């Protein structure tokens, strides 16, 4: 009999802690390929499977200082702009490198939402649905990982859905299950935690044997109480966690071998390193990666605070797109960059901009999106007294339309319906793809 079976109290404590550590890798029930395996799958299918990188600007960037400037107008309040390398498309000052990559980027400038609260708006942007107390919707990355399963993906060791520098709003699987929650990591400069056993191999094997003993005992007791055959042990998540712990594919997370000049091209910031890690993970075959840059909630001192965030975003976004293109990955990787809403056209008494869901911007590149285009327009002289702010927009689109466009880029069935745990049918999207964005 093992130590665990002899010492029930301490064993129970270890069992709970160790199980939670390994359960923390629950995203591993959805696996991702190595580049070599992807290449073989691509040769069979004729194209590389698609991936999504979401650059999440939490707190809501100001469209007037980023992707939709109106220089020399009252609403600019002194903000300036610069011409991009696409005639007629201007970006906010500070997005210098991004402006030079504009041929690869398209902007949706008249995005609208009915949510002006951070928590509700984040849920809306990440899921394509408004917050519902009776149903938890999956994030877009979880949904894509659930539906987009190219040949050969069941053999890989890494999580398919990863959130870098996550906040409390990291992507969740919702009604599709916790197995589709994003696997969370912090600043990629740090090693991943809990990937090495804290004891020797022999003791680790005994602990796993003990875990089998406890699970078998539990299932037998459960079966006797319910008068039904014992259920099978839910082993896959644990087995996959153990596979990841010994996998060579973990090298995709490790930036220590990346030359310093390559790292600095993305900017010397956690977000820049996150974008570099996202590129490496996509290159290895991860399906969806979210990188978060918080700090855009500028109710005071808007211009200075937005400029600081832009200085972090600009090199990371531009270099990510350039590197994906140089590695011939941009056509198969959709990059989406934006936050939960925009900011008011007028400054408040503290020099800040407040919440504004009535016409904000999102940038998209790669993954079947045509570059160098602008969809929608906001007025340089909006009537801020009107109750219908749509009158200040030309060709507006909803958050639902943005989600439908992303799903269409992956060629998913937009008429698909899921059955939620309550038995309720739920559409994969309630939007329509934005005309003119998707390549023919």
Kindly state the average pLDDT of the residues 109-121. 97
171 domain-assigned: yes
Within this chain, do residues 25 and 68 fall inside the same structural domain, yes or no? no
Residue 126 pLDDT greater than 80, yes or no: yes
Within this chain, do residues 364 and 418 fall inside the same structural domain, yes or no? yes
Residue 309 pLDDT greater than 80, yes or no: yes
Cβ atoms of 375 and 436 closer than 8 Å? yes
The string of pLDDT tens digits covering residues 274-299 is: 999 999 999 988 999 999 999 999 99
48 domain-assigned: yes
Query: What pLDDT does 233 receive?
Result: 47
Gap between the Cα atoms of 421 and 402, Å rounded? 26
Cβ atoms of 412 and 433 closer than 8 Å? no
Q: What are phi and psi of 391, to 5 degrees?
A: -70, -15
Task: Tell me the residue range of the domain where 401 lies.
Answer: 33-191+254-427
Residue 26 pLDDT greater than 50, yes or no: no
3-state SS class at 73: coil
Residue 251 pLDDT greater than 80, yes or no: no
Query: What pLDDT does 238 receive?
Result: 52
285 domain-assigned: yes
Within this chain, do residues 309 and 240 fall inside the same structural domain, yes or no? no
Q: Domain count of the chain? A: 2
108 domain-assigned: yes
Query: What pLDDT does 47 receive?
Result: 59
Q: pLDDT grade, residue 148 (50/70/90)?
A: confident
3-state SS class at 92: strand
Within this chain, do residues 37 and 156 fall inside the same structural domain, yes or no? yes
Within this chain, do residues 73 and 99 fall inside the same structural domain, yes or no? yes
The string of pLDDT tens digits covering residues 201-214 is: 666 556 556 566 66
Of 249, 278, 296, the residue at which a domain comes to its end is 249
Residue 253 pLDDT greater than 70, yes or no: yes
CATH number for the domain spanning 383: value is: 3.40.720.10
Within this chain, do residues 403 and 416 fall inside the same structural domain, yes or no? yes
Taking phi first (over 0 means left), then psi (-120 to 50 degrees means alpha), and beta for anything else, what does residue 173 get? Answer: alpha
The string of pLDDT tens digits covering residues 336-366 is: 999 999 999 999 999 999 999 999 999 999 9
- 159, with CB counted inside 10 A (0-12, 13-18, 19+), is buried
Enumerate residues 6+ apart whose C-beta is below 8 A from 48: 38, 39, 42, 329, 332
Within this chain, do residues 75 and 88 fall inside the same structural domain, yes or no? yes
Gap between the Cα atoms of 122 and 140, Å rounded? 12
Enumerate residues 6+ apart whose C-beta is below 8 A from 275: 53, 55, 266, 291, 316, 317, 319, 320
Query: What pLDDT does 341 receive?
Result: 98
Gap between the Cα atoms of 61 and 63, Å rounded? 6
The string of pLDDT tens digits covering residues 400-425 is: 999 999 999 999 999 999 999 889 99
The size of the chain, in residues, is 440
Taking phi first (over 0 means left), then psi (-120 to 50 degrees means alpha), and beta for anything else, what does residue 259 get? Answer: beta
- 107, with CB counted inside 10 A (0-12, 13-18, 19+), is buried
Q: CA 262, 308, 296, 376 torsion: positive or negative?
A: negative
Within this chain, do residues 162 and 77 fall inside the same structural domain, yes or no? yes
348 domain-assigned: yes
Within this chain, do residues 282 and 412 fall inside the same structural domain, yes or no? yes
Within this chain, do residues 80 and 20 fall inside the same structural domain, yes or no? no
Of 211, 232, 249, the residue at which a domain comes to its end is 249
Within this chain, do residues 243 and 275 fall inside the same structural domain, yes or no? no
pTM of the model: 0.82
Of 249, 265, 286, the residue at which a domain comes to its end is 249
Token duo for residue 160: 């398919």
396 domain-assigned: yes
Gap between the Cα atoms of 385 and 388, Å rounded? 9
93 domain-assigned: yes
Query: What pLDDT does 103 receive?
Result: 97
Within this chain, do residues 302 and 154 fall inside the same structural domain, yes or no? yes
Token duo for residue 7: 């010492």
Gap between the Cα atoms of 145 and 125, Å rounded? 17
Query: What pLDDT does 207 receive?
Result: 57
Give the helix ranges, DSSP H, for 24-106.
Answer: 35-45, 96-100
432 domain-assigned: no
- Which residue, 119, 220, 127, 109, is CA-closest to 182? 127
Gap between the Cα atoms of 401 and 381, Å rounded? 26
- Which residue, 186, 192, 158, 155, is CA-closest to 281? 158
More confident residue, 114 or 47: 114
Residue 15 pLDDT greater than 60, yes or no: no
Cβ atoms of 378 and 76 closer than 8 Å? no
Element spanning 304, H or E: helix 302-326
The string of pLDDT tens digits covering residues 163-204 is: 999 998 899 999 999 989 999 999 998 877 555 555 456 665
Place of tokens 């928590």: 119
Kindly state the average pLDDT of the residues 8-29. 35
HSE, CB side, 13 Å, CA atoms: give it for residue 127: 25
Query: What pLDDT does 413 receive?
Result: 95
Count helices and strands (H / E) in the chain. 12, 19
Query: What pLDDT does 221 receive?
Result: 67
* 218-227, 286-295, 392-401: least confidently modelled range: 218-227
- Which residue, 366, 379, 377, is CA-closest to 410? 366
Gap between the Cα atoms of 285 and 48, Å rounded? 10
């Amino acid at each position: 009999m093992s130590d665990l079976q002899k010492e029930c109290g301490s064993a129970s404590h270890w069992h709970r802690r160790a199980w939670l550590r390994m359960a923390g890798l629950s995203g591993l029930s959805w696996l991702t390929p190595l580049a070599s395996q992807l290449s073989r799958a691509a040769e069979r299918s004729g194209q590389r499977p698609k991936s999504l990188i979401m650059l999440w600007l939490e707190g809501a960037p100001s469209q007037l200082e980023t992707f939709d400037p109106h220089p020399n107008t009252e609403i600019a309040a002194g903000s300036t702009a610069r011409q991009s390398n696409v005639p007629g498309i201007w970006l906010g000052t500070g997005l210098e490198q991004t402006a030079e990559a504009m041929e690869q980027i398209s902007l949706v400038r008249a995005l609208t939402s009915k949510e002006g609260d951070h928590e509700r708006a984040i849920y809306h942007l990440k899921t394509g649905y408004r917050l519902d107390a009776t149903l938890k919707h999956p994030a877009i990355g979880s949904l894509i990982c659930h539906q987009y399963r190219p040949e050969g993906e069941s053999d890989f060791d890494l999580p398919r859905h990863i959130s870098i520098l996550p906040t409390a709003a990291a992507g969740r699987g919702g009604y599709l299950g916790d197995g589709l929650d994003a696997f969370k990591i912090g600043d990629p400069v740090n090693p991943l935690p809990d990937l090495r056993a804290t004891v020797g191999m022999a003791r680790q094997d005994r602990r796993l044997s003990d875990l089998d003993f406890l699970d078998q005992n539990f299932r037998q007791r459960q079966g006797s109480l319910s008068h039904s055959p014992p259920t099978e042990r839910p082993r896959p998540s644990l087995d996959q966690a153990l596979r990841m712990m010994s996998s060579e594919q973990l090298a995709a997370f490790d930036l220590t071998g990346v030359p310093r000049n390559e790292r600095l091209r993305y900017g010397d910031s956690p977000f820049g390193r996150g974008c570099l890690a996202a590129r490496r993970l996509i290159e290895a075959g991860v399906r969806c990666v979210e990188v978060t840059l918080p700090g855009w909630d500028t109710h005071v001192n808007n211009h200075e605070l937005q400029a600081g965030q832009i200085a972090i975003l600009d090199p990371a976004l531009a270099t990510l797109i350039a590197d994906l293109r140089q590695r011939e990955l941009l056509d198969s990787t959709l990059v989406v960059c934006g936050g939960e809403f925009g900011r008011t056209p007028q400054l408040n008494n503290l020099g800040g901009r407040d919440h504004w869901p009535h016409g904000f911007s999102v940038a998209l590149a790669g993954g079947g999106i045509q570059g160098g285009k602008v969809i929608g327009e906001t007025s340089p002289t909006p009537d801020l007294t009107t109750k219908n702010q749509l009158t200040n927009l030309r060709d507006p689109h909803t958050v639902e339309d943005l989600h439908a466009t992303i799903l269409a880029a992956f060629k998913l069935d937009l008429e698909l319906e899921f059955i939620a745990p309550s038995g309720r049918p739920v559409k994969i999207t309630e939007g329509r793809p934005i005309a003119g964005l998707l390549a023919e």
